[in-house]
Amino acid sequence: MTSEPAQDLRAGPLEAGGRHERADGAQAGFGLYVHWPFCRAKCPYCDFNSYVAEAIEQGRWRRAYLAELERVAAETSGRRLRSVYFGGGTPSLMDPETVAELLAAARRLWRWEREVEVTLEANPGSCDPARLRAFRDAGVNRLSLGVQALDEEGLRRLGRTHDVATAIRAAEAGRRIFPILNLDLIYARPGQSLGGWMRELERALLLEPDHLSAYELTIEPGTPFARQHRAGRLSVPGEDRRAVFARRTLRRLEEAGFACYEVSNFARPGRMCRHNLIYWRAGDWLGIGPGAHGRLSLCGDRIATRAVRAPGLWLRAVEERGCGELVRERLGPREAAVEYAIMALRLAEGLDLDRLAGFLGAPWEELLDPEAVERLVEAGLLVLEDSRLCASAQGWLRLDALVRAILR
Ligand SMILES: C[S@@+](CC[C@H](N)C(=O)[O-])C[C@H]1O[C@@H](n2cnc3c(N)ncnc32)[C@H](O)[C@@H]1O
Ligand code: SF4
């Protein structure tokens, strides 16, 4: 528990009296993201900031993260934490003691909401039950397991180093040990049939997750998959086919009691990911660790931060300069509003037009073309109710085009 800072930097004051009450991140929660940049192997489809390292000096990393926590707490210590997210890379390769120490420090540095969600991303290859129990004892209450596929050929084609049995054992252990279990799956993979995917989904449901992230395979520039794709050696389902996969996924998961609350994310009641909701609702979060991004409302401004990306350079920056942050910039009103619009349209709840106007400091019609909005509502791709604008299930299938069509 910490006392209030002398100068309250939690968020800029709401502008009273103006026509557009200023929006700020404080209204949508405050989270902490910790990026762990190492994996045992680099998957050929992945462009996350992750590296394979021969040896990791866990003690040095622990000290660097702790120093970064102290640094970022100095300007946010009065805030109340809603979530902590260890992402990567493969945070299940962190020493559990490091996770325990970071969480103890976070408890000391910020006040915590009543039920703080603490997620750790894990690869099935580093999930033996003793290790998972150590993470739970450290304070993790949500395990997010990168299962990706529940089919041997699918895992092989994705270049994963674990098999289906290992993924299932890890999910079963995760289910026993953690109150909340998420499984990450990737669909619309090379050579995957719709029937095959539906069988994988059934196997995933048998593992009784609270939450499923079902991502369509994206061919990310610069990855081995992108090179193979360009050379014609890797083909993925076309847009229409992907839409069929998405519709069937939605239908089956809704039948199974999950709500699709974000384009790729499905939750049982009460189990939406609180941390990711902070991103999608344009809340505030601190990002520490190599390449981590953050957003903060400070003194009435919306600030974007980005840390040094390369792990070795980040470590040196923290050790030698006492700061891993590389970029800190003030987002202009339009930038902040566009970011909010793009993220919030991914959500079933959609975007709040008053909040959008708050970010913009002007009527929302200055950012979104009301005629385009009306046309897309008539076409059944958008829904406008009170002051909320959401994509329909049809609209979600063409979200990028929708956003392009309505943004001025
Ligand atoms: C940081 S990883 C999760 C934990 C761990 N590194 C693992 O892979 O098991 C985040 C997730 O992003 C998804 N992902 C990464 N690259 C992707 C891509 N090109 N297309 C679709 N999903 C992708 C995967 O589902 C992955 O589980
Ligand atoms: S998908 Fe996960 S394990 Fe594979 S390279 Fe990316 S972060 Fe690492």
- Domain with residue 374: its CATH number is 1.10.10
21 pLDDT above the threshold of 70: no
Question: Roughly how many angstroms between the first and final C-alpha of the chain, as a whole number?
Answer: 45
What CATH number should be reported for the domain holding residue 53?
3.20.20.70
Q: What is the pLDDT of residue 54?
A: 86
- Ligand minimally distant from the alpha carbon of residue 167: 1
Asked if residue 106 is part of any domain, the answer here is yes
Residues 297/26, Cβ–Cβ less than 8 Å: yes
Express each pLDDT in 164-199 by its tens digit: 999 999 999 999 999 999 999 999 999 999 999 999
Decide: 182 in ligand 1 pocket, CB within 6 A.
no
15 pLDDT above the threshold of 70: no
Residues 80/113, Cβ–Cβ less than 8 Å: yes
- Ligand minimally distant from the alpha carbon of residue 123: 1
Asked if residue 286 is part of any domain, the answer here is no
The whole-number average pLDDT for the span 196-215 is: 98
Q: Comparing 2-6, 210-214, 223-227, 307-311, which segment has the lowest mean pLDDT? A: 2-6
75 pLDDT above the threshold of 60: yes
Q: What is the pLDDT of residue 26?
A: 74
Strand-pair category, 265-267 with 211-216: antiparallel
Decide: 325 in ligand 1 pocket, CB within 6 A.
no
270 and 357, same structural domain? no
State pTM to two decimals. 0.94
Q: Could you say which DSSP state residue 368 is in?
A: B
Question: Between the CA of residue 283 and those of 19, 136, 144, 266, 292, what are the distances in Å?
Answer: 22, 26, 21, 20, 16
- Ligand minimally distant from the alpha carbon of residue 40: 2
> How many separate domains does the chain show?
2
The domain boundary residue, chosen from 278, 309, 324: 278
The whole-number average pLDDT for the span 378-398 is: 95
pLDDT-derived band at 3, boundaries 50, 70, 90? very low
255 and 138, same structural domain? yes
168 and 43, same structural domain? yes
Decide: 86 in ligand 1 pocket, CB within 6 A.
no
Strand-pair category, 388-391 with 351-352: antiparallel
- Ligand minimally distant from the alpha carbon of residue 124: 1
Q: What is the pLDDT of residue 299?
A: 85
Q: What is the chain's mean pLDDT, rounded? A: 93
How far apart CA 44 and CA 27 sit, in angstroms, is 39
Q: Whose CA is nearest to atom 8 of ligand 1?
A: 146
Residues 16/70, Cβ–Cβ less than 8 Å: no
How far apart CA 325 and CA 309 sit, in angstroms, is 9
Ligand 1 center to residue 146 CA distance, Å?
A: 6
Q: What is the pLDDT of residue 42?
A: 97
Decide: 123 in ligand 2 pocket, CB within 6 A.
yes
- Residue 269 CB partners (closer than 8 Å, separation 6+): 257, 259
Express each pLDDT in 311-364 by its tens digit: 999 999 999 999 999 999 999 999 999 999 999 999 999 999 999 999 999 999
133 and 254, same structural domain? yes
9 pLDDT above the threshold of 70: no
4 pLDDT above the threshold of 90: no
Asked if residue 298 is part of any domain, the answer here is no
Ligand 1 center to residue 326 CA distance, Å?
A: 25
Pocket test for ligand 1, best of 143, 215, 242, 245 (most atoms within 8 A of CB): 215
Ligand 2 center to residue 319 CA distance, Å?
A: 27
Q: What is the pLDDT of residue 12?
A: 32
247 and 111, same structural domain? yes
264 and 145, same structural domain? yes
**DSSP labels, 58-125:** HHHHHHHHHHHHHHHHTTTTTSEEEEEEEEES-GGGS-HHHHHHHHHHHHHHSEEEEEEEEEEEE-GG
Express each pLDDT in 38-74 by its tens digit: 999 999 999 999 999 989 999 999 999 999 999 999 9
Decide: 49 in ligand 1 pocket, CB within 6 A.
no
The domain boundary residue, chosen from 259, 278, 297: 278
Decide: 147 in ligand 2 pocket, CB within 6 A.
no
How far apart CA 70 and CA 68 sit, in angstroms, is 5
Ligand 2 center to residue 219 CA distance, Å?
A: 14
Q: What is the pLDDT of residue 214?
A: 98
2 pLDDT above the threshold of 50: no
Domain that holds residue 95: 25-278
122 and 43, same structural domain? yes
How far apart CA 320 and CA 375 sit, in angstroms, is 56
Decide: 186 in ligand 2 pocket, CB within 6 A.
no
Q: What is the pLDDT of residue 20?
A: 62
Asked if residue 100 is part of any domain, the answer here is yes
Ligand 1 center to residue 131 CA distance, Å?
A: 21
369 and 224, same structural domain? no
